[in-house]
Chain A
């Protein structure tokens, strides 16, 4: 009699839930005919990814994800959808001519990644991380020591993006 696989633990069940939720809403983003529903699916995906970060014990990242993506980016995208009246209620196909080839390509990429990921014996347990509070402090220290150049450049980039976005979107008339 073959040995039965062990019962899934609660964390595995929760992970499966988050993973399925994330993947299903990601499909919703790319397949939705109504672009506003696509944006809502994007919000759901971002929340799912935030949940995965929590499971990976990166709470700070999870909250930043919700703050930046849901609070700013998703709202911006929804605004842009409404401002450009680009709803496309099923009158024309939301896909262009090359959707068939692209779909095949995407499926092949996924299968290749699947095979690649599956073929390597990854570690299935992880060492313990730092205690909560000290990890956030350590992350802050990293930003002002080892990665200070990247941090500063990112600040500059955000400034340039801010000015550029205002200049581009401004109505000259």
Chain B
């Protein structure tokens, strides 16, 4: 049996990588992909805790994971639509150049 620590560490790594990508990448789509990584990290944790919990018959962890997957789909659809409409206006999706509101 794999110890729970293994799954939690994979989750932690995915989260940190996603955090780095979300904060350091210039391209808006790359930021969106990094956010997907972070959501996946949370999902791994939820499922791992469900599996290693005392009562696997209680499916709360899986329920939340399914909800997060659905949420990720909605987020990706709206986020990419926003990115495409921004691209149409400004001809760029480089977040450093989208500085209309910066003084």
Contacts and interface: CB of A to CB of B under 8 A. Distances in A.
Task: Let me know if chains A and B touch directly in the complex, using CB atoms closer than 8 Å.
Answer: yes
Contact of B23 (A52, A102, A126): A102
B17 A158 contact: no
A4 interface: no
A89 interface: no
Contacts of B26: 92-96
Interface string A89-125: 0001111111100110111011001100110001111
Given A26-B18, A169-B81, A105 B76 contact: no
Nearest to A49: B40
Interface string B20-44: 1101111111101110110010011
The interface centre, meaning the residue of A30, A72, A128, A138 with most chain B CB atoms within 10 A of its CB, is A30
Query: Range of interface residues on chain A?
Result: 35 or more
A11 B20 contact: no
A19 B40 contact: no
Contact of A165 (B13, B71, B81): B81
Nearest to A129: B56
B26 to A, nearest CB: 5
A96 B76 contact: no
A114 B37 CA distance: 18
Contact of B44 (A52, A83, A84): A52
Contacts of A99: 24
A45 B68 CA distance: 17
Contact of A23 (B14, B62, B67, B73): B14
Contact of B67 (A60, A110, A154): A154
A118 B8 CA distance: 9
Interface of A: 9, 11-12, 15-16, 19, 22-23, 26-27, 29-30, 35, 38-39, 42, 45-46, 49, 52-53, 55-58, 60-61, 64-65, 68-69, 72-73, 76-77, 79-81, 83-84, 86, 88, 92-99, 102-103, 105-107, 109-110, 113-114, 117-118, 122-130, 135, 138-139, 142-143, 146-147, 150-151, 154, 157-158, 160-162, 164-166, 168-169, 171
Q: 7 closest Cβ contacts across the A-B interface?
A: A30-B21, A161-B74, A106-B20, A110-B16, A113-B12, A124-B3, A168-B81
